[in-house]
Chain A
Amino acid sequence: MPHQNFPNRTLVVVLTVDLRLMRESHSDAIESSRLAEESGSGEALTVGQAIANLQGSDLGLRVYAAWWLGRFRVNEPAAVDALIAALDDEADRTEAGGYPLRRNAARALGKLGDRRAVPALIGSLNCSDYYVREAAAQSLALLGDAECIPALTNLLAKGLQEGQLVPHQPDLSQPYDALLEALGTLQATTSIPVIRPFLEHPTDRVQYAAARALYQLTQESIYGERLVQALSGSTLQLRRAALADLGAIGYLPAADAIARTHAENSLKLISLKGLLEHEIKQTSSDPLSQDAIRVMSLMDSLL
């Protein structure tokens, strides 16, 4: 790689953080291309310091160290152990009762790829802090261990009563979108009956997550089409979410609609990239399929 200047790198971090708010998996796609260079380049912390800080007494340093270990994918047993221990932290509390350190530790453990974290993250699904539960669900999806499917499904089922959504809506007491996405990613076909009612959830984001999961579990186009409709959603945020979902499931019939969506070209390009790579992994890259060529032509027009 050629010389890189600092402003450039800062921008990527900002963009990555911004996208993470929208969808974790996409921020990772962007992030991963940068990590190899960044992790070796004079960052203020060393691995040893970060692990020590995580176990120290300065709360600010602990929270930062947890984030840092995930950001730079420090996949070392000592780091994983310290992060797992941080999931039980009681020292760092917000006034509202939240656990900032636990949140960061749960997020970091998803990035480190060590499945030893799975039982502890399953435990974190019972944490009183919504954001810890959400981070745990997202990280369990990333770790890809089917062992957590029953726990995720049970938490999702808290939104149901006798197979229907609970009567008091909108119910946002659980991180339903993260749970739905995780179950789709983990190929939890046995959870389909619990997932399906969430297609009717009053919150658009939750509906999309249900459609995304059901498409991944059934490959039925009705769910992909639901997300295509969402591309003409009323707010930019919803359209961005639909772009991310369609890219994640690689729903090829959405290609033209993605290119026409009223949203930033950069997000449309990422979405189409998801379609293209899904297509190439399904078929072969030599010779390139007509569909792959069509997606690339659309991408060319958005540069």
Chain B
Amino acid sequence: MSSSLLAQQLIQAVEAADSPAKLLKAVQELASARLEEGLPTLIAALGYNNPGAAVAAVDGLIQMGDLAVQPLLDLLDGYNYSARAWAIRALAGIGHPRALDTLLEAAKNDFALSVRRAAARGLGNLRWHELPVERVPLAQFQVMDALFVVAQDPEWVVRYAAVVALQGLARAMILTQPDSISQILIQLQWVADSDGDLTVRTRAQFAQQALNKTEQENSEPLPLRETRCS
């Protein structure tokens, strides 16, 4: 069977589904086929008010990666709030910096904690090499600033996600601007000392440990590079 014939069949199965269970199964099958033709149908499934199908569609969209980014960004203008929230989750999972502004805004200001949580996590997962190299430093500082704000969210799980994202951002910044890591480590220390939630404090402590270890490993070859430069 050609891939476009298969795609048509899978898409029709989604459109013809007349029960939540059938819809879930059809979306799961379309998502796992990873066909470009299926993209609009997967995006439409975010708005069907069927959480199981939406989760499957988000997984499928994340697998499709960059192809899905622009259609998802277009969807964000729509009126369906629930579909918007799922789209932000998909963008967070894909990690393309084209979604940077959307994720910054959602992490700080969305009213649903699950969206703030996912957006914060996405800010720590961005694939920085997709951005022109001269734009990276400023964008990373924007993300850092935003995550410092998100680290004071009223919900523990959003603060937890901000800590995980700060760890991811620090790992990326070790390569691009290692001098700035100390600011992240100071913020993590502050969370580890003063957050009101034991789980969040513990995650910050773990992030510090992991980063200190990475920094030590990274700092060892440094003298070699300096020799080469001079």
Contacts and interface: CB of A to CB of B under 8 A. Distances in A.
B226 to A, nearest CB: 33
Interface of B: 51-52, 109, 111-114, 117-118, 120-121, 149, 152, 154-157, 160-161, 164, 196-199, 202-203, 205-206, 209
A15 B111 CA distance: 13
A57 B48 CA distance: 48
A1 B152 contact: yes
A292 B203 CA distance: 10
Interface string A7-25: 1100110010000000000
Interface stretch (A124-132, A135-143, A293-301): A293-301
13 contacts: A8-B111, A8-B154, A15-B113, A270-B157, A277-B199, A285-B205, A288-B202, A292-B206, A296-B202, A299-B160, A300-B121, A303-B160, A303-B161
A187 interface: no
Nearest to A270: B157
Contacts of A4: 154
A54 to B, nearest CB: 29
A280 B202 contact: yes
B152 A2 contact: yes
B206 A293 contact: yes
Contact of A303 (B109, B118, B197): B118
Contacts of A300: 121, 164
Contacts of B209: 287-288
A265 B202 CA distance: 20
A164 to B, nearest CB: 39
A266 B157 contact: yes
Interface in A245-303: 262, 264-266, 269-270, 273, 276-277, 280, 285-288, 292-293, 296, 299-300, 303
A33 to B, nearest CB: 6
A273 B199 contact: yes
Contacts of A93: none
Given A11-B113, A286-B205, A303-B161, A33 B121 contact: no
Nearest to B122: A303
Contacts of B203: 296, 299
A11 B154 contact: no
Nearest to A36: B196
A116 interface: no
Interface string A145-158: 00000000000000
Contacts of B113: 8, 11-12, 15, 266
Nearest to B121: A303
B124 to A, nearest CB: 9
A303 B160 CA distance: 9
Contacts of A266: 113-114, 117, 157
Contacts of B206: 288, 292-293, 296
A173 interface: no
Contacts of A15: 113
Interface centre among B109, B196, B199, B203 (most CB of A within 10 A): B199
Contacts of B111: 5, 7-8, 11
Interface centre among A34, A286, A303 (most CB of B within 10 A): A303
Contacts of A269: 157, 160
